Structure 1
């Protein structure tokens, strides 16, 4: 079974299309026998996806920092999970979710969602994450970020080749195909530092 990490918010947003898309994503997991790797919460889009998958008999693996578990956060939700991994902090949670998964998908969300998927893509370019990263671009939510990524290429801060290693799409079949044929970016290498000629004079 493939394990896919989903990054999404503890809010459902202010339009029903985001909740509908989360339900569609959950059903896609069930249809393809994928296991969900996520942050362990039971509210917002996190709750919509995880509860739907659990209700349909699917596998859901939560990864949550110890401090939140100790506070009794989402105790009812945690008891329903197929598996739970408790980690020291948020940084370890991000690393663990990447380690457990074979792919990463970002739903529409806030700064935490954006941080997680951007780190996953950044680590892929460093050779620390071999898994594909995708933005589920519901309602064209990530259009400004698409523009930003293209601007990085135009300005010379991101190679055109690496730009093709991340996808923005509102089609789960397109995302699935991207993941099935994904080849990780070539790990960046740096030429050896040249001696400072002026210093030897």
Structure 2
């Protein structure tokens, strides 16, 4: 993996372990020479990941839609800033730049971004690893819900297995590095997204 997109909160939340782990993830990416693609903000968990990369001489690409430039505090130390017209173009650009996805704690935006990428994987639009860094069990309830989707017949086990989960940075990055996608039929073409 050369470039990982990280989806996470624009706020810091309440758990200091999440804040520190976000920074540590950034440092780990930089130390492995993996570029970070993220939402360009200086604030929140987003800003901590970016700062971890930058403090360790890594490369950070921020992608932000024009309308958010006035609402969010853009990180001034980015290696590169890409401005899109809207949110959909933002996600598409992040997807095009990356060859892996990691979700950290966040809110609605983080969930929406994560689920769009996992849905695209399910549809065969990409074959790169998607991981959740489950810091202090933040995603436990979501993971339980996903298992229920499988048991109730709404989610195929092979699609459930597209999502890699670990509570430690090294463990998740190792899983992502070793990830071998199983064959999934392409139901739609990239142009249809």
**TM-score, normalised relative to structure 2:** 0.90
For residue 14 of structure 1, give the secondary structure of its aligned residue in structure 2: coil
Distance in 1 (alpha carbons) for counterparts of 2:173 and 2:68? 33
CA drift at 1:36: 0.5
Deviations 1:129-169 (A, max 9, x none): 22211110000000011111111110111111221111221
Q: Which residue is equivalent to 2:184?
A: 187
Of 151-160 and 132-141, the range deviating more from structure 2 = 151-160
For residue 14 of structure 2, give the secondary structure of its aligned residue in structure 1: coil
Q: Which runs of 5+ in 2 are unaligned?
A: 188-193
Of 4-13 and 50-59, the range deviating more from structure 2 = 50-59
Q: Which residue is equivalent to 2:108?
A: 111
Q: Which residue is equivalent to 1:139?
A: 136
Distance in 1 (alpha carbons) for counterparts of 2:71 and 2:156? 45
Structure 1 segment 97-108 matched on structure 2, within 5 A: 97-108=94-105
Q: Which residue is equivalent to 2:18?
A: 18
Q: Which residue is equivalent to 1:5?
A: 5
Q: Which residue is equivalent to 2:191?
A: none
Residue 74 (structure 1) aligned with residue 80 (structure 2) = no
Q: Which residue is equivalent to 1:52?
A: 52
Matched residue pairs, number?
187
Deviations 1:116-138 (A, max 9, x none): 01110000011112221111000
CA drift at 1:72: 7.6
CA drift at 1:181: 2.4
Q: Which residue is equivalent to 2:149?
A: 152
Structure whose CA Rg is larger: 1
Q: Which residue is equivalent to 2:159?
A: 162
Distance in 2 (alpha carbons) for counterparts of 1:84 and 1:26? 17
Q: Report the CA distance shift for 1:144/1:66 in structure 2 as closer, same or farther (over 3 A).
A: same
Q: Which residue is equivalent to 2:65?
A: 65
**TM-score, normalised relative to structure 1:** 0.86
Distance in 2 (alpha carbons) for counterparts of 1:41 and 1:119? 21
Q: Which runs of 5+ in 1 are unaligned?
A: 191-201
Distance in 2 (alpha carbons) for counterparts of 1:22 and 1:176? 14
Asked whether the equivalents of residues 125 and 186 of structure 1 are also in contact (C-alpha less than 8 Å), the reply is: no
